[in-house]
Structure formats: structure tokens, C-alpha cells
Chains A and B, each alone.
Chain A
Amino acid sequence: MTLSKLALVSLCALAAALPSCSKKSAEPPRGAAVVLALDWVPEPEFGGFYAARELGAFGRQGLDVEIRGGGAGAPVVQLVAAGQVQFGIAGADEVITARARGADVVPIYATFQTSPQGIMAHAARGYKTLGEVLKSGTLAIEPGVAYSAFLKKKYGGFGATLVPYDGGVARFMTDPALAQQCFVTAEPLAAKKKGGDPQVFLVADEGYNPYAAVVIVKKSTLTDHPDWVKGFVTAAREGWTSYLATPAPTNAVMQKLNPSMDAETFASAAAAEKVLTESADTTAHGLGAMTRARWETLGNQLADLSLVLKAPPVDDYFVALP
């Protein structure tokens, strides 16, 4: 924090001292050093953020963004709330849960308007609805995720045996009776690639649709660094617009960081993201748009599921995009 402030101060001093030289300087000005913590490894679901970095969109907004990959259970919300990183990626339901537990984080940009979260089963089982999938066999799902509680309530419990999701598709490939959680942009593509027959049911279609890949900041950042927030959103929008149109250059960069995913999967995942990132709201207000009504609905759903005691007041955390 002090380091970034120092960087800002010295940058201002430099700009003031050398007003005439600054234009000639070949070095682009270094912005405020901030970190964006991801909740998963570099994958197409973060494509727009990597694109924003590669295109220099963050730099043009005075931000020097370091993107830090995570893994299963990466404590992104906690890191942001504790001020150890400035920006983080989390699901909308995690944001509300975190607020209910006293972590003062707020959302500023909602990447996915339709949650990519789904359940994938083997097509050979011939299911028509998600309800049928949940009735029998094995279901691999992360313990404690909100949509699991939602599905359990909606269908009056699970007939399937629940086991923890392990982050891959190996078990899916060997067990014909196994269904598992997935991001529609990730696991089904990997399974198909390996010769599997995944059939995906979106949780959003079941009536539970939290924003996904939501950018969060500590609430105090809104007042302490409004320029960061505004700049980040502008750059993210630019990055995502570019990424959805031409994902290939950014995919090449991400693939170096995550060689376990091949180029073809990167490309098909990126193509699948377009419909998920766009909505009536984004048409009206630009990519990443959020509405008060959707946050309110989600808060009430989580309270209904007893995952939070009561929905946190929306106006405490909802800010209209700049």
C-alpha cells in the first residue's frame, strides 16, 4: 500500500518536474502498482483482464496491474478484505456471503451476466432435466457452494451420492454414473477433447443466476482511490470487448501460463463466453454492468437457503458502474 502510494507520489513529482520532457520519453509512465487476484488458474474466463493488460488498457488508466493466478479455494475475498491485494475475482454469492461474515468487499464489474456454472452428466444417461441427474449416481461438487444448497432445496434433496469436486475431469471420464460441477466454458470442453460425452445443465436455467467472475475491491477503495475503480472498469471493458472479438493473441499469452489447457480448448472456451457476458443490461450500460435488482434477488435467495442469516442491505455494497 505504502509502496504504491510512494510510486504515485514519485510519479506525480516526476510529471511536475519534467512537464516538457514527458512527451518525448519513450518509457510509458508506470501506473499505480495493483494486484488482481484470480480465483482460478489463467483460463478464458479471465481472458478480458489479460487482454486489458496486454493491450495496455490498464496502463492507459494509470494502473500497473499484476494478475495473480489462484487455484481451488484461493482465498481471494479474504485477501481483498484484508487489503493484501487491491482487486479480486469472486462469484456474486461469495461477495454476499463474505459481507454477511463481516468482510467489507464490494463488486465493481460483473463479467458473466449468465453464470457459467453448470452440472455436466454423461449424455449416454439420456437425461432431460437436471432434476433427473441429481436423483441417482454420484455427483462431484465442491462442499459448501451456494448453488448446491439451492439445488438441494429445489429438488428436495439429492438422490445422488455427493463427493467433493477435484478440479478435473478424470473421474468423469472413468465413471459413467458420475455427474460433476463445471464451468460451461471449461470442463465440458476438456471432457469432449478426451472423447467424453458431456451434457451440460446450466444452474442459471434453474432459477439461480449469480453474476460470475465479479471484480471486487475493499469498500474503502471506492473512496480512497475512485480513479483506480473507474480506470479498472474502463480498462476491463476495453479488454473484454477486444477479447470477445479476437481472443487468439490473449489466449496465446494465457496458454503459456497454463499449458495444461490446449490452444483449441482455449479458442472454443472463448467463443462460448460471448453469450454469457452479454445481457440487456450490458447493451444498455456496457460490459460488466450490474443491477440493484439482481443483487437484491441473490441476497434474498441466499437468506432463503439459510446460507446467510439475512440478506445484507444492497445499498451498503451496490454501486452503479461509473
Chain B
Amino acid sequence: MRGFRTLAPPLVALALILATWEVLARALQIPAFLLPPPSAVARATLAELGDLALAASVTGRAALYGFLMSACVGTLVAIAMSSSRILERAFYPYTVFLQTVPIVAIAPLLVLWFGAGLRSVMVSSFIVSVFPVITNALSGIRSVEPALRDLFRLYGASRLSTLTKLELPAALPAIVTGLRVAAGLSVIGAIVGEFVAGFSESGAGLGIVILSSYRQMRTDLLFSAVLFAALLGLVLFGAVNLAGHLLLSRWHPSARNP
């Protein structure tokens, strides 16, 4: 019953949106190359299912690697910055730079540096998704209650045990929030990376499918590819949520069911 109550509203909303879209597309006779109706997208998806799934697996792998890099590097950078105000002041502004990097502009350079293929795409995914991890982890570590810090100091806890026993557990909810944002961004980063750096014949990712279907004016297939990209984002997001739930549910109110 509870499952139904959680699932029903979004599903009904989806059905409504799709129905409205279908009816409007038909009633207004919008040409399919401008905006295909959902039925056309569904047909294209079914017809190209094998290729789309393959492309999604290629993009998914790059996004996953990029995401994992973001999670590791982002958290490590946050820990380093939290350990010293000087470090934070010196480097934090440049992490903001990462967030504002126009990835489309530097993606061609990534190819020159790392060569075409998985490595460049992964790095593109990493660049786009690392900032929210850093900033959330940092603010999580910074928000540890001063009284608890004092307690650790009072008992003469080492820097390492303060980090592992106090700061990281306390920052975990914030880190998970950062990872949730990074999950979606890593897919975007991978697709933009593929626009420039992906392999386009064998092992073509969703980014290539998007470019190619645009070139061929197969707008229906383009939407299918976008749909698969959204699904990838959802899967990563779901995995982060699940991990967060497993890690936090025993003690943190943000993950406890009401």
C-alpha cells in the first residue's frame, strides 16, 4: 500500500504529461522533425533498442568512472581543505572555477591531452561533477559541532581519528547530498565529452547517437537517446540514494522514514 502511494503520483503525472504531449502534437500537427509525439519516440526506441542499450552502456561506464573519480577526489580535496584554512583560502576559489568551466570549450583540448575515447569522456564527466562533491563535503566537515570537536581534543584524539570517527561520519549526509547532484552531472559531462571525444563507429555512446540522429533529422531517435541518458542519471542517482540510506538510516534523521 505504501509502495503504491509513493509510486502512483509520479506515474499518473507521467501518463498525463505524455497524453497531453501526444494529443497536442497531433492536434497542432507539429512536424515530427520538430517535436515527435511520444508514440513516435516509443517506436524509435523499440526499433533501435539494441543500439541504444549498447550506447547507454558505453556512456554509463564513462559516467560511472567520472562519478567515482569525483567522489574520491572531491572528498579528498574537501578533507585537505578542511584541515587548513590557508589551503582552503588558497584553493577553494579554483574549485569554483571547475564549476564554471564551459566544458564544451575545453572538451576539444581534452582530446588533444588524453586522446579520443573513454579517458577523455571520463575526465569530462569528472570535471563537470566534482564541484558539488567538494563544496558539500567541505561544508559538512566544517559544520561539525564545536562541542564535539572540543571533546575529541580534550581526550587527545589524533588528527586521523578525529577525521574518521567524527568529521567524516558527521559530514556524511552532506557528502551524500553532493554525490546526488554529481550523479546527474556526471552523465551530462560524459555526453558532452562524447560530442567531441567519443568513438563514433564501434563503441559509440549516447552522445554520438544524439549527434548522428540530429544530423539525420531523426528527432524521434534523438529523444530516445535523451531518454536513455535520463535513465542513466536516474540509475546513478538511485544507487547514491541507496548507499546513502544504508549508511545513514541507523542514525541520521535525514535518512529515517517518517
State A170–B200 Cα separation when bound (angstroms).
19
Q: Are A103 and B199 in contact (CB under 8 A)?
A: no
Within 8 A of B (CB), among A298-313: 307
Q: Is the CB of B31 within 8 A of A164?
A: no
- The answer to whether A102 and B31 have CB atoms under 8 Å apart is yes
> Is the CB–CB distance between A161 and B216 below 8 Å?
no
Interface centre among B116, B117, B218 (most CB of A within 10 A): B116
Within 8 Å by CB of A78, from B34, B112, B200, lies: B34
Cα A143 to Cα B209 in complex, Å, equals 8
Least CB distance from A176 to B in Å reads 13
A144 and B214 contact, CB distance less than 8 A:
yes
Does more than half of chain A's interface fall in helix, strand or loop, or is it mixed? loop
A contacts with B, residue count (CB < 8 A): 27
**What residues on A are CB-neighbors of B198 within 8 Å?**
163-164
Q: Mark A171-199, 1 if CB is under 8 A from B, else 0.
A: 10010000000000000000000000000
- A166–B111 CB distance below 8 A: yes
Nearest chain A CB to B156's CB is how many angstroms away?
56
For the complex, what is the distance from the CA of A144 to the CA of B214, rounded to whole Å?
A: 8
Docked complex Cα distance between A174 and B108 (Å): 13
A200: interface (CB < 8 Å): no
Q: A98 to B34, alpha carbons, bound, how many Å?
A: 11
Chain B residues with Cβ below 8 Å from A145 are 215
Specify the chain A residue showing the minimal Cβ separation from B201.
Answer: A162
Report whether A101 and B217 are in contact in the complex, using a CB–CB cutoff of 8 Å: yes
CA distance A164 to B215 in the complex (A): 12
CA of A162 to CA of B197, assembled, Å: 10
**B200 is contacted by which of A101, A164, A168, A171 (Cβ under 8 Å)?**
A164
Known A101-B219, A144-B212, A163-B116; further 16 A-B contacts with Cβ < 8 A: A77-B217, A78-B217, A82-B34, A103-B33, A142-B211, A143-B204, A143-B211, A143-B212, A158-B201, A162-B199, A163-B197, A163-B200, A164-B211, A166-B108, A170-B112, A171-B108
| Partner-A contacts on B (CB < 8 A) | 31-34, 108, 111-112, 116-117, 194-201, 204, 208, 211-219
